[in-house]
Amino acid sequence: MLTLFKLILILSAFFGPETKEADLLRIELARTSKAAGGQVVRHTGFALSYNESWRIPNWVAWELTAEKAKGTVARPQRQFEPDPQIRGRQAEHRDYSRSGYSRGHMAPAGDMKWSERAMNESFYTSNICPQLEELNNGKWKNLEEHTRWLAKEGTVYICCGPIVAAHPQRIGENKVAVPEQFFKVLCMKRRGRWQAIGFVFRNEKCTGGLDRYTLSVDEVEELTGHDFFYNLPDSIEDEIEAKCNWKGWQ
């Protein structure tokens, strides 16, 4: 019989030398195409792939449990600041000032209340994208709140990020790219069955119910070029990523 250690060694050989052993058990992580690049950074409460050309992340991934969703750490009164782990040029707090765009969290501060360190790290600009306020405090916030509700039933694996045009609008001295759209994909084992769903919002005021913005994970992968939930067994991944069943998430 294979021990867990031997299994990890086999999987490590398959995924390559850059794969961390801990990543083999992290369902929320995504893979980005080599063309897109991206420096992968791991923080206390989330991981991200940073796109230096855009000065924003390719994606940000984290897991939310019932226990984490009960956190009580207060949101700090602080400016956003560059990520000390990132190599290369980054956005700064002032790039967003008077730009017409809010500083939109990808991994929300509301999901980091279980740890003061995780909360503080969520204010790194590597976790932030230019979002119109109407989206940031509208449907994007609604989906964050809905995900925290889902976490009461079990662990939710989450990945989100921007969808950026070939020649995007830029803001600030550091020329931060403004996304045209944002995606979020969710995966969890609910009522004994694995399921997954995707969402895509334009960077504008979005109206109506969340069901208007749902897609299958396969469709979000097609839009973004990312590979989500790749650490699941292929038989499960292929099945759940092809479906888009909003009723299963209510």
Q: Which two tokens stand for residue 97?
A: 């000032």
The mean per-residue pLDDT over the stretch 47-71 comes to: 97
- CA 129, distance to chain mean position in Å, is 11
| Residues counted in the chain | 250
Percentage, residues of the chain above pLDDT 70: 89
End-to-end CA distance of the chain: 41
pLDDT, position 4: 40
178 falls within a domain? yes
43 falls within a domain? yes
Tell me the pLDDT tens digit for each residue of 13-34: 333 333 343 444 699 999 987 6
Tell me the pLDDT tens digit for each residue of 191-245: 899 999 999 999 999 999 999 999 999 999 999 999 999 999 999 999 999 999 9
The mean per-residue pLDDT over the stretch 105-115 comes to: 98
124 falls within a domain? yes
Residue 125 predicted with pLDDT over 90 = yes
pLDDT, position 141: 98
3 falls within a domain? no
Of 128, 44, 58, 133, give the one whose Cα is nearest residue 93: 128
Q: Which two tokens stand for residue 52?
A: 């230096």
pLDDT, position 35: 66
Of 20, 40, 44, 18, give the one whose Cα is nearest residue 30: 40
Q: How far apart are CA 127 and CA 116, in angstroms?
A: 16
Q: Which two tokens stand for residue 29?
A: 């992580």
pLDDT, position 128: 98
Of 134, 124, 116, give the one whose Cα is nearest residue 93: 124
The mean per-residue pLDDT over the stretch 145-150 comes to: 97
Query: Which helix or strand (DSSP H or E) is residue 193 part of?
Result: strand 193-202
Mean pLDDT, the chain, whole residue set = 90
Give SS3 for 29.
Answer: coil
CATH assignment of the domain containing 93: 3.40.570.10
Q: Please tell me the number of Cα atoms within 13 Å of 33 on its side-chain side.
A: 8
Residue 179 predicted with pLDDT over 70 = yes
The lowest-confidence range among 22-26, 133-137, 158-162 is 22-26
5 falls within a domain? no
Q: How far apart are CA 11 and CA 27, in angstroms?
A: 14
Where b means 16+ CB within 10 Å and e means fewer, 152-187 reads eeebbbbbbbbbbeeebbebbeeebbbbebbbbbbb
Q: How far apart are CA 20 and CA 97, in angstroms?
A: 37
Q: How many CB atoms within 10 Å of residue 51?
A: 22
Higher pLDDT, 7 or 208: 208
243 falls within a domain? yes
The mean per-residue pLDDT over the stretch 119-144 comes to: 98
The verdict on whether 93 is a catalytic residue reads no
The mean per-residue pLDDT over the stretch 157-181 comes to: 98
Percentage, residues of the chain above pLDDT 90: 84
pLDDT, position 167: 97
Catalytic residue among 93, 105, 146, 167: 105
Q: Which two tokens stand for residue 197?
A: 């769903």
Residue 171 predicted with pLDDT over 60 = yes
Q: How far apart are CA 134 and CA 163, in angstroms?
A: 18
Number of domains in the chain: 1
27 falls within a domain? no
Contact 223, 163 (CB under 8 A): yes
Domain residue limits at 51: 39-249
18 falls within a domain? no
Contact 76, 29 (CB under 8 A): no
